[in-house]
Amino acid sequence: MSAPERYQQRILVLNLRNNKTDTLLFIHVFGKNKKMVTVTAGRLKIALFSITLLILNFTHAQNGQVTVNSTSGTPYSVTVKIVPTQIIPNSTSCPFGYGYSVRFNYQITFSGAPQGLYTHQVEIYCLNNQLNGFYGLPKSPTNSSGTAQTTTNPQVPNNGTANQYSSPYVDCSAASIYNFNCLSARLIIEGPGINSQTIPFTLGNPLPVELIDFNAEADKNKVNLEWTTASERNSDYFTVERTTDGENFEIIGTVKAAGNSSTIKHYHFTDFAPIAGISYYRLSQTDFDGQSESFEIKSVDVKPTNRIITNVFPNPTQEARVNV
């Protein structure tokens, strides 16, 4: 038989008879069949008792982010951040209603010594608490980020008359992350040391830019970057950054944004001095108030090419140095 597990816990207790406080030292001893015997030390006395152990997962939730801590085995935690970025109607013409899905950015961060999760899903609620989910998030115990799209397709009804919608519903041509009020979500999670549970959390305000896509492509001795936005609100400018190690980014250029827009906008930037080999490009957006948000990172493999020398001067030369 293995030795019982033991740990201590101090709790501040208020005595309602005299309004005085006292600190209790709880000594928890876990024996066979997960039974717990607790003894206290201090001026207050408490009888010995035995209870069945109930393990709860401690979580912390804030705008767009949830942190879940394991409660058994090797300690670790997982933090999930969800940011809705775009509403995608299933039709461009919708006189009698339409379905839609939600595109979102996710960021998953592990700490400690995690193992792979068993269940890892997210649900997003929009409009009148319409459910968009369950989308399966990565389960591997490594930090990751990316863009995904919900799999269900809630229906937006019209008000009985073609091409007319009652608040809060809008026509599919006006569907936006700003007017769909995607402000809440639920995380469904289970893993080693983490009991199966569903955790509600708020998503906060939507990003000022609905980014549809962002692409980076090598073209001989340059890299072309293009991105498209569905809408913008108080958007000042975009920043293009580059790194070779995935950590230390340098700014290589900025592009003026549209400010406020509800129509599709196309942008481009060219890196005329790329680094040979694999580089990583990151796009960020900055508001007029100085707040910024970064989007997903794109990798580009630039192959070195031989450049032909077309001009040499002075020609002829009597020195060992020439200008190319």
For the chain, the distance separating the N- and C-terminal CA atoms, rounded to the nearest angstrom, is: 82
Same-domain check for residues 47 and 99: no
> Structural domain of residue 15, as residue ranges?
5-52
Question: Looking at the domain assignment, is residue 324 inside a domain?
Answer: no
Tokens (6 digits) for 232:
């913008």
Question: Looking at the domain assignment, is residue 254 inside a domain?
Answer: yes
CB 157 within 8 A of CB 97: yes
According to the model, what pLDDT value does residue 13 have? 46
Which residue, of 154, 170, 202, is where some domain finishes?
Answer: 202
Question: Looking at the domain assignment, is residue 290 inside a domain?
Answer: yes
Same-domain check for residues 157 and 220: no
**Beta bridge partners of residue 105, listed in sequence order:** 83, 147
Please name the residues in contact with 73: beta carbons below 8 A apart, sequence gap of 6 or more.
192, 193
CB 285 within 8 A of CB 208: yes
The type of residue at 130 is Q
d(CA 312, CA 317): 10
Which residue, of 180, 202, 224, is where some domain finishes?
Answer: 202
According to the model, what pLDDT value does residue 58 have? 41
Helix/strand number for the chain, H first, E second: 0, 20
Question: Looking at the domain assignment, is residue 264 inside a domain?
Answer: yes
Domains held by the chain: number: 3
Same-domain check for residues 147 and 122: yes
Question: Looking at the domain assignment, is residue 313 inside a domain?
Answer: no
pTM (2 d.p.):
0.55
User: Would you give per-residue pLDDT tens digits along the chain (324 residues)?
Assistant: 444 444 444 444 444 445 454 544 444 444 444 444 444 444 444 434 333 333 334 444 445 889 999 999 999 999 999 988 889 999 889 999 999 999 888 989 999 999 899 999 999 999 888 988 778 999 999 999 888 888 878 999 998 899 899 988 999 988 888 888 888 999 999 999 999 999 999 987 776 788 888 999 999 889 999 999 988 888 999 999 999 988 899 999 999 999 988 788 999 999 999 999 999 999 999 998 888 888 888 999 998 765 444 444 554 544 444 444
CB 252 within 8 A of CB 239: no
Supply the DSSP string of 196-231, one letter for each residue: EEEEEEE--SPPSEEEEEEEEEEETTEEEEEEEEEE
The type of residue at 266 is H
Same-domain check for residues 43 and 97: no
Same-domain check for residues 154 and 47: no
Phi, psi dihedrals of residue 16, rounded to the nearest 5°:
-70, -15
Same-domain check for residues 169 and 185: yes
Same-domain check for residues 176 and 266: no
Q: Centre a 10 Å sphere on the Cβ of residue 151 and count the other Cβ atoms it contains.
A: 12
Nearest to 270 by CA among 242, 290, 309, 244: 242
Chain segment 186-219, per-residue pLDDT in tens? 999 999 999 999 999 998 777 678 888 899 999 9
Question: Looking at the domain assignment, is residue 307 inside a domain?
Answer: no
Q: Centre a 10 Å sphere on the Cβ of residue 233 and count the other Cβ atoms it contains.
A: 19
CB 172 within 8 A of CB 94: yes
Same-domain check for residues 29 and 107: no
Same-domain check for residues 47 and 77: no
Chain segment 272-281, per-residue pLDDT in tens? 999 999 999 9
Q: Give 86: exposed, middle or buried? Use CB within 10 Å, 0-12, 13-18, 19+.
A: buried
Question: Looking at the domain assignment, is residue 174 inside a domain?
Answer: yes
Question: Looking at the domain assignment, is residue 23 inside a domain?
Answer: yes
Same-domain check for residues 67 and 194: yes
According to the model, what pLDDT value does residue 302 have? 93
According to the model, what pLDDT value does residue 12 have? 47
Same-domain check for residues 71 and 37: no
Helix (H, G, I), strand (E, B) or coil at 172: helix
Same-domain check for residues 198 and 65: yes
